[in-house]
């Protein structure tokens, strides 16, 4: 079982992505998503803030959910 970080224990939604910025806003252009979908069956965007490949999902939500009891998951385009 993964231990929760200090930021997670403090209840932060985002424990570590681009913390030097006042706000994390990611623009996903429809054209870019369409181009990615030509190469892959699906494109998944992270909504748990734990992905090492943010803004894309890398599956880290599963460990986070197991440790926290949460139920986060990606936004998937097909």
23 is catalytic: yes
Contacts of 47 (CB under 8 A, 6+ apart): 57, 61, 72, 73, 74, 75
d(CA 76, CA 78): 7
What tokens does 6 get? Answer: 């200090």
Q: How many residues form the binding site for ligand FES (CB under 6 A)?
A: 13
The reply on whether position 8 binds ligand FES by CB under 6 A is no
The reply on whether position 60 binds ligand FES by CB under 6 A is yes
The reply on whether position 58 binds ligand FES by CB under 6 A is yes
The reply on whether position 48 binds ligand FES by CB under 6 A is yes
Catalytic residue positions?
23
């Amino acid at each position: 079982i993964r231990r929760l970080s200090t930021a997670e224990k403090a209840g932060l939604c985002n424990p570590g992505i681009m913390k030097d910025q006042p706000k994390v806003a990611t623009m996903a252009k429809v054209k870019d998503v369409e181009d990615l979908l030509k190469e892959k069956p699906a494109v998944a965007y992270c909504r748990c803030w734990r992905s090492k490949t943010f803004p894309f999902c890398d599956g880290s939500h599963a460990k986070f959910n197991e440790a926290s009891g949460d139920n986060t998951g990606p936004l998937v385009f097909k």
